Structure 1
Amino acid sequence: MKLLLTSGGVRNPSIRAELVRLLGKPIEESGALFIPTAQWGQPMCSPQSVYASIAGEWPDQEGLCDLGWASVGVLELTALPSIGADRWTSWVRDADVLLADGGEAVYLAHWMRESGLAGLLPELDDTVWVGVSAGSMAMTPRIGRLFVDWRPDGSDETLGVVDFSIFPHLDYPGWAYNTTESARAWAPTIGGPAYAIDDQTAISVAEGEVAVISEGHWEHFPG
């Protein structure tokens, strides 16, 4: 699987160009599945926010579903255990890209395991995973206590598909916990390498190569 791990989505031409490179073909020729599951675990999200992400109704912001895909479907992970893998795995295998929305990363990782999607990922060599915020953080080993909103007394461990952690929304206006100072305090608690990235930055992972794609600000913490 190829990964495009973003903080705020495909927000600039550099990130969009990297998405096209990972797909190996134009966005307009690619089929996508959108995964809203992480939102259900985040107390600040709601049925209205899920709809806004799917329908492209966030103000002044192009969402994952709005990039010009040949087709877009919704893959709700909490439903998959009730319908059986023989039905949904073909949907995933046929998709060119999986679009994982933001929300709560530990909750998303939990349902990726429970649904069986996490176990399928190693077989999806040509599929691109595009994450936004929690949709990116779920692929890391840990997110840190700062970002745990679901089961706050539980683990902060996620899937560990990559070997680094992500601090998203770096210096986002008005977000007191996402400052550079907070990121530098968070990094030593992770126990491994990490990146702090703003909404104009993405981390691309393909064939063992990690690259930062940015028209904004980011920091690397070697761990």
Structure 2
Amino acid sequence: MANQFLGLSLFVMLLSFFIILNAVSNFEETKSQPVLNSLALTFSKKEALDLTPPGPALVKTMATQEGSTLDKIESLFKSQITSAKTKQNRLGTIMYVRVPFQEFERAILKSLTIPAAKAVPDFEENIDVLPMLVSLLETSREVTYKMDMLLNISQSPPVLIGQNPERFNALNKSLSGVALKLEEAGLPKYQVTAGLKQGEEGIVELIFRRYQPFNPLGGSEKPVETRPAAQGEL
């Protein structure tokens, strides 16, 4: 009985202290709530309530995870292809890259001698772009990304096919060569798409976004091979 009375007295004293503190200070309620919950949990059998909404925190965590990968890809392009222009959306979940196709092709096709033990390069000069890019996109990571490649041409693809099929085939072959190198380096086919579209001649647009498999039947999805087409799919 004496212990219960002592505990009740202590609780009343602490409660009075926080009431006085609330009256003479401008502390934030969100910061004091954990302390009040702790007191309630100590002197009561009722479960303390967590009034912090989980939604925004979870969204922020996911965006941070995605953004970290995109930030690394952005650093890779900026350090190895200086003409590349990058931009991320507001949430940091999608990144757009514009770069001259010839420079992008050279960066992908070049073969540099880099120690195999250096698994995580520090974005210094002369980094082999191909294995690093594939490593950042690979499916073994918690968040998988795909890359869409759209090569801009001055004419619409159907018009180019009709007027100059040889040039269309040559551009398509060049784009296919880049996609093939990515696949040979370990990137699954369903993580890269490619196509031609009308736009600024010689510029390739790269879109990096989270890969979300679509399967309305609910079973395990079988990746579908994608090849460069007349129209880029986005």
TM-score (norm 2): 0.30
Structure with the larger strand share: 1
TM-score (norm 1): 0.31
- Relative contact order, CA 8 A, sep 6+: which one is greater? 1
Structure with the larger helix share: 2
